[in-house]
Structure 1
Amino acid sequence: MNKFSLYKDRCIIMMCCLCFQMTFASGEKKQEARGDCFANSLSLVSSFVGMTKIQQNITGIVSDANGALNGVTVSIKGKPINTITDTNGQFTIAATEGDVLVFSFVGYKEVAVAVDSRSTINVTMQEDATTLREVVVNAGYYSVKDKERTGSISKITSKDIEKQPVTNVLAAMQGRMAGVDIVQDSGSPGGAFSIKIRGTNSLRADGNQPLYIIDGVPYSSETIGSIATSGTAPSLTSPLNSINPSDIESIEVLKDADATAIYGSRGANGVVLITTKKGKAGKTTFTVNGSTSVGSVTRTPKLMNTQQYLAMRQQAFANDGISVYPDFAYDVNGTWDANRYTDWQKEFIGGTAEVNNLQASVSGGSAKTQYLLSGNYRTETTVFPGDFKYNKGAAHFNMNHTSDDDKFKLVFSANYTAQKNNQPATDLTAVSRTLAPNAPALYDADGNLNWENSTWDNPLATMLSEFDSNIKDLTANTVLSYQILKNLQAKSSFGYSDLKNTESRTQPHTMYNPAYGLGSEFSGLSVSQTDRSTWIVEPQLNWNTTLGKGKVEALVGSTFQQQETNRLFMNGFGFSSNSLIHDLASASIKTIDLSDETIYKYQAFFARINYNWNERYLLNITGRRDGSSRFGTGKQFATFGAVGAAWIFSNENFLKDNSVLSFGKLRTSYGTTGNDQIGDYQFLDTYASSGNTYQGLIGLQPIRLFNPEFGWETNKKFEVALETGFLKDRLFLTTAYYFNRSSNQLVGIPLPGTTGFGSLNANLDATVQNSGLEFTLRTVNIQRTNFEWTTNFNISVSRNKLVSYPGLESSTNANRYIVGQPINIIKVYNYTGMNPTTGVYEFEDVNGDGVITSIGDRTEIVDLSPDFFGGLQNNFKYKNLQLDFLFQFVKQETFGPTPGVPGTAVNQLASVSNSNGQQPLTSGVNGDIINGYFRYALSTGNIEDASYVRLKNISLTYDLPLKKSKGVRCQLYLQGQNLLTFTNYSNGDPEFKFSNYLPPLKVYSAGVKLTL
């Protein structure tokens, strides 16, 4: 018997019973029974008629302003019938005419639509700030709802990343996260970025890197290569370029002790969690995304033209009493054309870099198994003259599988990247700003390099020296989990990474003036090879239960990790032909400067317990016992932990229905983390090959002293924060204060030269303090059906201080650090002005000894750390059009340009010619002016405001109005990076601290994204 027949028979029986009651009742009861019978009969008839309505399949597409939404729950109100949308946003559900479909999705407003007589229903959903608190945040070993987290975690998603034409993952984070300070080190292709999360903790420059985790696998951020083989960047090659931004689903940055303590020693400087994209259930979807970009230097300083330059030179010789110009003064004595002018910045770094990027992916699967496979290929040229190119290819695969009983789960992900970078070995930025504007032409009449009768060294000759880098990088991870009991899960992660890097730098003899008569025997090649592999295994147990109004979650696990690094640095000289210069075997002389193998072993046990009472009071306790092979016996293990607590006071009865305050949470945390970023074998007495032969044998030489007391660096962190949402979270404000102290510093303590060693690796009883305020504001300004406008703002104010340093006055760092001052300070002279009689810069004689010296008179303090930094992002959506832009701002000071002594054969800023005699000039013979100039470069007079506001990113996206029923989506987009910079800084780009290297590029990009 079907449901319809059963319902019909039930109606007939009930009607008969009612009529029987009415027949045998008497008087008033009979009258009441008659009325009840009539009413119930109408109700039953109505229900019966409803059951006779024809049931049909309702289809449609669910989307938002960005396109189709996958995973939206579609249900029938009041009935246990539901389905979800596929990757194209499509759904099918059986319903009748009187039903109401309810569409719900985390982060979006719920939509209810009456079926009526329609068979197709398309719905556009809107984001809801209130439900965004339900979004799950990745905290590493566990996940937590944003509203229930007790730690400090910042997050960006693929929606933010895909709007930026960048190749380094750190570039996508600039200006978007409070407390995360990111600076680009170079504008050259493949250039690195530096990152500081809540300040500088360690006195060692290489001890402040955060921990990077890609899909659960630790990813080493240690630079690779060698200074001898590095290219145009001021730093060594960054392995972070191996991470393809297009494959990233989200990036979470863990900052406070509660969030980072579960990583123990690895989380001292913060943790960056990178989650790659995963497959989703639904029909197979193909996506192709192609773009073309052009880039140029953001800002260049305004330099002297030929007339101004020659006038400066002539005045300098006059000041020195020289009336007949020397033979070597080619720029001013008539050897070079006095009427010639070349804008060398335009010539050397004024080119246009071209970037082409192609990304393709296929994804799909069933409810039990999902997959995603994507590939990316990117090519990038440079602004330098010459045929140089950076090629990068990447592949990403992900598969998720769940057993039929939903107990067993498998997650596998792998990322492979291959990079080939060919760049000039010399950055022409410095020479472009110092070369005389009337210098000769670069090429002669025959198209060869012009040496102008040996009157100059042609800068383009350095372009013949090339930097080549080949990097192949693989990361893979498998997570197996099994639901042992309803509330007990066993899980284990197995990760592996392998990086292979080969770098070379050539120095052909053709880069030198032919007049020197140097043959191919003077050609040289430097090669460095780095192989780094890591494996990690992390078994875990997760348990949860409910105790009355409280929920308990517990996690225990362990980590077993090993990293092996092999390095080989070699040199070759004397090649019979430059065509063989890349073949080290062809060199007549070969040397091995370094060949070593290091093994790093790490073991840990960790635990977490979380208690949530009635969604009001939250307590999170984490602990970790770490063991590192970088320390000696008795010092290898250390324990770290943290406690985080939160009170969601908006859930209290007296605020629950408040019309103004929609959400309120007060949270705090305190704990300790450690640091072992000191390198391998630093506590041992180690030896290296001396390279010298004695009685036919190569000897050894000691390079490090033994120190068994070498132990962990410790970082104590405290934070208190207030999260408040107003007007249904249309205005959401987070205010956080943090206070961190890093002690037991891992440094090299200087030793007297008589010991034969410059320093001894040891723990210094010095303490570095970082404190600051972070503000994050999100506002939903307008939210209509066809138009939305949201704003995100963040600002960070950080202060650094050296709290203690025993014996600082007698150490070699006495002139570098001051207790009570930041560790990023520079001691400078106090500039008092220019002597009008001698025309020499003068400075304060602090110690009154009558002599200006660096030790006694460089006492003024300049802090080069930013006073504050942040970003302002706006997002506009109108129908199929979306506009996003981000302004990044920094308040900071830095040193002004110091290209060389004014008056010598070095070009200067145009402002020097307008100094009204306040600029000392010498042709190079006045020692007082020269000494004064170099002191001025390190004085208060040369400190310049380098604050700036930059249009960091802008993106305009248009969805072509195609028929959604076809399952095709086409997006056209325009993007820009570093487009506008507002600053008073005189020496080009204010972000870039290395003025002798290429600054960041201004990039314009256009592309199309097609989904089938």
Structure 2
Amino acid sequence: MKTFSLNKGLVALWYPFIFGFYLCCAPALARNTLRLSISQQQSQVNGTVRDGTSPLSGVSISVKGQQKMVVSDFDGKYVITASPDDILIFTYVGFKTATIPVAGRSVINIKMQEDATALQEVKINAGYYSVKQSERTGSIARITAKDIETQPVTNVLATMQGRMAGVNITQTTGVPGGGFDIKIRGQNSIRSDGNSPLYIIDGVPYASDPIGYNQTSSTFPTVTSPLNSINPDTIESIEILKDADATAIYGSRGANGVVLITTKKGKAGKTTFNITASCGVGTVTKFIKLMNTQQYLAMRKQAFINDGITEYNPWDYDINGTWDQNRYTDWQKELLGGTSQINDLQGTVSGGSENTQFLVSGNYHTESTVFAGDFLYKKGGSQINLNHRSEDNKFRLTFSGGYNAQNNDQPAFDFTYDARSLPPNAPPLYDADGNLNWENGTWDNPLRNLNAKFESKTNDLIANTVLSYELLPGLVLKSSFGYTDLSTAETRTAPSSVYNPAYNITSATSAIYLNNTDRSSWIVEPQINWEKDLGSGKLGVLLGATFQSQTTTRLFQSGNGFSSNSLIYNLASANNVNVLLSDETHYKYQAFFGRINYNWQQRYILNLTARRDGSSRFGPGNQFADFGAIGVAWLFSNESFLKDNSWFSFGKIRSSYGTTGNDQIGDYQFLNTYTTSAVAYNGNIGLQPTRLYNSNFGWETNKKLEMALELGFLHDRIFATVAWYQNRSSNQLVGVPLPGTTGFTVLQSNLDATVENTGLELTLRTSNFNTGNFNWITSINLTFARNKLLHFPALESSPYNQQYRIGQPLNIELLYKYKGINPQTGVYEFEDTNSDGRISFPEDQQTVVDLNPKYYGGIQNGLSFKRWKLDFLFQFVKQKNRSYPMGFAGQMSNQPNRVTNSWQEPGDNASYQIYTAGNNNAAVTADYLYTKSDASITDASFIRLKNISLSYDLPLKNTQCKIMLQSQNLLTFTSYKDGDPEFTSYGFLPPLKVITAGVQLTF
């Protein structure tokens, strides 16, 4: 009690002091309390983020010190809740991070500045994992939607032409729906069909094996490719994995590189609608300069004089007076000079919350041809994407699906050969009544082939779902489920109406060829990923498995002998029906893979990858193989003696070595296989063997080595990469010849041959100007590549002895050695290599000519000024190729106008030999040898304005409106005289020059 009373007394002594303190400090406390109350009040802050010329979508806006974050929409607008004293942080890839105090404002508009240094922090897709650009140990090239959207193309491979070091892409035809050829760091396999890369779309392998058949796809030099089903407008980025460090995790399928395609995803923010419409035209890039009528008739008449013939034959209609001697038709313009009409419509709806985002898009494309006639290529599809994460960020779901349909209607025959060979005074195409003109049966009207049609319909579905859950901090379980389904139906007709009526051909000769191919596959890939900070470093471990199954059914048929051409599509009406091929194949594949990555102090990086693959395409005991790689990198710019350097901003040395494989040999190649003999015995159709069993059939192996140096200067405004690589592919999967007494010509086996690809890749990116209103970025890539056959046992005695040479590239020609024109006879002469007194095959056809590009690359510039943007790309290639074969000069076929410089009389110093109408056997033979000699090889190097795009953003309120003008293959600079230098395949349409105009609305 005393204690309690004492305490009460002590407290009472303090009352006067407490009261006095309150009287003195109450005003200040009140003011602080009020200020604290105001500072804790939350209000909405909104605004627009721009890059100085246009709105920026996808910018992350967060409140400093808080977990709160929003993303700007397609208009660059954002809304976030913040207190007056808060600080907003704006971050976006490729731009400097901006820190802006709210300072009581409700509207904050910001213009972000580009930052080349930030590009090193971009995370790029490496397949099963992602890695910062600055920390990758492998060789990965990348383009994004920003590069793709400037190009008016329909094939995914066209988007990469000239933009990536080490990636050589050639267009194979200018016909709508045609294909492209791609080689990543050269040709590894002796088999031409064994060099395709692996395509992965949103984590799902996409089979690139041709789906066409050579008797139905006669419009194209190569059969139909499924890659046309991929819509470039839906692609967010494309990564090319090239070296062992990047590709070994894909094991047996990574020998020829990996193409990773990531489709666009939805972004958080208000629901946004995007509509893009464009239309354009396409024309042939370049024609051959041919003789006009006067030059042609002079050549023909001189040919008869040279042959000693004084009277023309009845069938020489062009010079015997049957055809008009004064008529002139430019057949290239007549048959190939049409204008292709191109139309595109694309629509996208996207949006969502911070936890769930969606995107739905649709597209439709139509394209006519430059050929005469009414033909149309149609392509349409849709895409859907859904991303979701739980409130605690532990569970994530991603779904992506795409469906595309193609309908291609083309002439069954290419008009290119007729356009280049028809006499310039040939009759008109139509008579006075508008019917096909046969000129009394004196010629085969080229438009007769319009009656023969090629039609193709393809439907393609690809879908993928990825589920992941974070069990513990840094420990994530993930599984991917993918499915693809593709079906195509092709027909090519050859009706009797394609023949000259003078031949009296009936519909009994009419024929149709049909191809039905269906391919479906599923894949499941469970994975576990663990990341942990260990001491001064960071450890990452990835383990996973792959289970894949693919089924392909093919039915190739033909029918002929119809009572009427109107029944040609009814196979039951044919007198003869043949099943050319009918099969169903199953491909099963499984693998286990892993990756260990350790990054110590952001300076030293070690990356180990491994994969054990199993494929049903190989025999017992050879179905499984192990592949792996090691990659290392030293970021020496993070060393203490360089870290604060004012002019040197980035430096890295990286290297890798490892093995990958190849199983692109088709199914059941190691088994005894049989086919129907088409011969009946006792009423039953018999079987006959087609392939011998080989249990030793195994994997091709590719060993890859690379060393590279990456340098950045002036905050990476100048950034350069130098990479050297060496790939050696061995254990080649080819046919080994067998004696004819076995009943078989070859045995599918592994050949102990080795192919080497070496090269030097150079890239340079410079930020030339980076101001508020004007920005200019230049990117250059250059590749020097060398392909060589190192080893081929018993090459001299093999069927390949006139195709390959040890120490030479695979893509060579063995040719006669051209000596010149005999000044007395005017006939081409060639070197007698073996000195036996005659020019013979193969003894004298031994001159090696390399047709691989010596170097290739591209120079890209991107400029922006206020609301204007200009992007253009020059592609260049240093190469040799064949001149276009036209046959001997003097026959009833047109010639290039340069052939006017031909031998006339003894002593002439001419470029081309004597004209002949076909009676000078020595000249005819010499012309054939000429096409097989090194004289037919010419410089086909070129510089091409591959792509140019100009756009302007209209200053509209609440709506983003962009007007675009784009072109592909606009200008070509070359010394090649026989048309387009990129594509010189005999008798097929070259690539087209395309110009389009469009508008894009976003609201």
TM-score by length of 2: 0.95
The worse-fitting range, judged by mean Cα deviation, of 71-80 and 897-906 is 71-80
Report the CA distance between 1:51 and its aligned residue: 6.6
Is the CA contact 1:410–1:481 (under 8 Å) kept in the aligned structure 2? Answer: yes
2:808 equivalent to 1:817: no
2:948 equivalent to 1:948: no
In 1, the alpha carbon distance for the partners of 2:813 and 2:52 equals 51
Matched ranges for 1:262-277 at <5 A: 262-277=249-264
Of 506, 509, 512, 1:522 maps to: 509
2:730 equivalent to 1:743: yes
Partner SS state of residue 566, structure 2: helix
Partner SS state of residue 312, structure 1: helix
Letter in 2 for 1:304: M
Report the CA distance between 1:853 and its aligned residue: 1.2
In 2, the alpha carbon distance for the partners of 1:717 and 1:97 equals 58
Is the CA contact 1:626–1:637 (under 8 Å) kept in the aligned structure 2? Answer: yes
1:65 to 1:454, Cα distance in 2 relative to 1, 3 A: farther
Report the CA distance between 1:99 and its aligned residue: 5.4
C-alpha RMSD of matched pairs (Å)? 2.2
| Counterpart for residue 248 of structure 1 | 235
Letter in 1 for 2:576: I
In 1, the alpha carbon distance for the partners of 2:570 and 2:378 equals 22
| Counterpart for residue 921 of structure 2 | 927
Of 429, 434, 444, 1:457 maps to: 444
2:677 equivalent to 1:683: no
2:58 equivalent to 1:58: no
In 2, the alpha carbon distance for the partners of 1:71 and 1:979 equals 33
1:275 to 1:83, Cα distance in 2 relative to 1, 3 A: closer
1:77 to 1:45, Cα distance in 2 relative to 1, 3 A: farther
Of 137, 140, 153, 1:166 maps to: 153
Report the CA distance between 1:826 and its aligned residue: 0.7
Structure 2: runs of 5+ lacking an equivalent:
1-13, 905-909
Partner SS state of residue 108, structure 1: coil
Report the CA distance between 1:845 and its aligned residue: 0.8
In 1, the alpha carbon distance for the partners of 2:52 and 2:249 equals 38
Matched ranges for 1:979-994 at <5 A: 979-994=970-985
| Counterpart for residue 27 of structure 1 | none
In 1, the alpha carbon distance for the partners of 2:52 and 2:233 equals 21
| Counterpart for residue 5 of structure 2 | none
Report the CA distance between 1:939 and its aligned residue: 1.4
The worse-fitting range, judged by mean Cα deviation, of 902-911 and 517-526 is 517-526
Deviations 1:723-746 (A, max 9, x none): 110000000001100000000000
The worse-fitting range, judged by mean Cα deviation, of 76-85 and 525-534 is 76-85
Of 193, 204, 207, 1:206 maps to: 193
Report the CA distance between 1:400 and its aligned residue: 1.1
1:749 to 1:79, Cα distance in 2 relative to 1, 3 A: closer
Letter in 2 for 1:764: L
Report the CA distance between 1:838 and its aligned residue: 1.3
The worse-fitting range, judged by mean Cα deviation, of 223-232 and 909-918 is 909-918
2:965 equivalent to 1:971: no
Report the CA distance between 1:700 and its aligned residue: 1.1
In 1, the alpha carbon distance for the partners of 2:159 and 2:861 equals 16
In 2, the alpha carbon distance for the partners of 1:745 and 1:172 equals 31
In 1, the alpha carbon distance for the partners of 2:487 and 2:496 equals 30
| Counterpart for residue 1011 of structure 1 | 1002
| Counterpart for residue 258 of structure 1 | 245
| Counterpart for residue 466 of structure 2 | 479
1:55 to 1:764, Cα distance in 2 relative to 1, 3 A: closer
The worse-fitting range, judged by mean Cα deviation, of 732-741 and 319-328 is 319-328
Of 106, 109, 130, 1:119 maps to: 106
Partner SS state of residue 215, structure 2: helix
In 1, the alpha carbon distance for the partners of 2:266 and 2:70 equals 18
Report the CA distance between 1:484 and its aligned residue: 1.3
Letter in 1 for 2:661: G
Of 429, 433, 437, 1:442 maps to: 429
Of 834, 843, 867, 2:854 maps to: 867
Letter in 2 for 1:444: D
Report the CA distance between 1:587 and its aligned residue: 2.2
Of 728, 742, 747, 2:715 maps to: 728
Is the CA contact 2:53–2:866 (under 8 Å) kept in the aligned structure 1? Answer: no
2:955 equivalent to 1:961: yes
In 2, the alpha carbon distance for the partners of 1:722 and 1:613 equals 19
1:170 to 1:810, Cα distance in 2 relative to 1, 3 A: same
Report the CA distance between 1:47 and its aligned residue: 10
1:55 to 1:602, Cα distance in 2 relative to 1, 3 A: closer
Report the CA distance between 1:870 and its aligned residue: 0.3
In 2, the alpha carbon distance for the partners of 1:527 and 1:156 equals 38
Partner SS state of residue 561, structure 2: strand
Report the CA distance between 1:455 and its aligned residue: 1.2
Partner SS state of residue 542, structure 1: strand
In 1, the alpha carbon distance for the partners of 2:970 and 2:360 equals 34
In 2, the alpha carbon distance for the partners of 1:473 and 1:171 equals 20
In 2, the alpha carbon distance for the partners of 1:430 and 1:42 equals 96
In 2, the alpha carbon distance for the partners of 1:655 and 1:430 equals 63
Report the CA distance between 1:395 and its aligned residue: 0.7
Deviations 1:108-145 (A, max 9, x none): 11223454564322112232110111111000001111
2:224 equivalent to 1:230: no
Letter in 1 for 2:833: V
2:576 equivalent to 1:562: no
| Counterpart for residue 998 of structure 1 | 989
| Counterpart for residue 539 of structure 1 | 526
1:71 to 1:973, Cα distance in 2 relative to 1, 3 A: closer
In 1, the alpha carbon distance for the partners of 2:946 and 2:30 equals 66
2:424 equivalent to 1:430: no
Report the CA distance between 1:81 and its aligned residue: 6.1
| Counterpart for residue 7 of structure 2 | none
Deviations 1:259-280 (A, max 9, x none): 0000000000000000111111
The worse-fitting range, judged by mean Cα deviation, of 575-584 and 998-1007 is 575-584
Report the CA distance between 1:829 and its aligned residue: 1.1
Partner SS state of residue 377, structure 2: strand
| Counterpart for residue 7 of structure 1 | none
In 1, the alpha carbon distance for the partners of 2:477 and 2:65 equals 37
1:624 to 1:96, Cα distance in 2 relative to 1, 3 A: closer
Letter in 2 for 1:943: I
Partner SS state of residue 131, structure 2: strand
Letter in 2 for 1:934: Y
Is the CA contact 1:231–1:424 (under 8 Å) kept in the aligned structure 2? Answer: no
Deviations 1:912-942 (A, max 9, x none): 1134642221110111111111111121222
| Counterpart for residue 481 of structure 2 | 494
Is the CA contact 1:299–1:989 (under 8 Å) kept in the aligned structure 2? Answer: yes
Report the CA distance between 1:97 and its aligned residue: 5.7
Deviations 1:932-978 (A, max 9, x none): 11111121222110000000000001111112xx2x21111000000
Deviations 1:516-539 (A, max 9, x none): 222222221110100111111111
2:166 equivalent to 1:179: yes
Structure 1: runs of 5+ lacking an equivalent:
1-12, 24-36
Partner SS state of residue 935, structure 1: helix
Is the CA contact 1:987–1:995 (under 8 Å) kept in the aligned structure 2? Answer: no
In 2, the alpha carbon distance for the partners of 1:494 and 1:52 equals 52
In 2, the alpha carbon distance for the partners of 1:938 and 1:262 equals 44
Report the CA distance between 1:904 and its aligned residue: 0.8
Letter in 1 for 2:681: Y
In 1, the alpha carbon distance for the partners of 2:981 and 2:36 equals 72
Partner SS state of residue 796, structure 2: helix
Deviations 1:549-592 (A, max 9, x none): 11000011111111111000111123333222222223232221
| Counterpart for residue 589 of structure 2 | 602
The percentage of counterpart residues that share the same residue type is 60
Is the CA contact 1:87–1:364 (under 8 Å) kept in the aligned structure 2? Answer: no
TM-score by length of 1: 0.94
| Counterpart for residue 306 of structure 2 | 319
Is the CA contact 2:52–2:772 (under 8 Å) kept in the aligned structure 1? Answer: no
Of 320, 323, 333, 1:333 maps to: 320
1:138 to 1:859, Cα distance in 2 relative to 1, 3 A: same
1:297 to 1:129, Cα distance in 2 relative to 1, 3 A: same
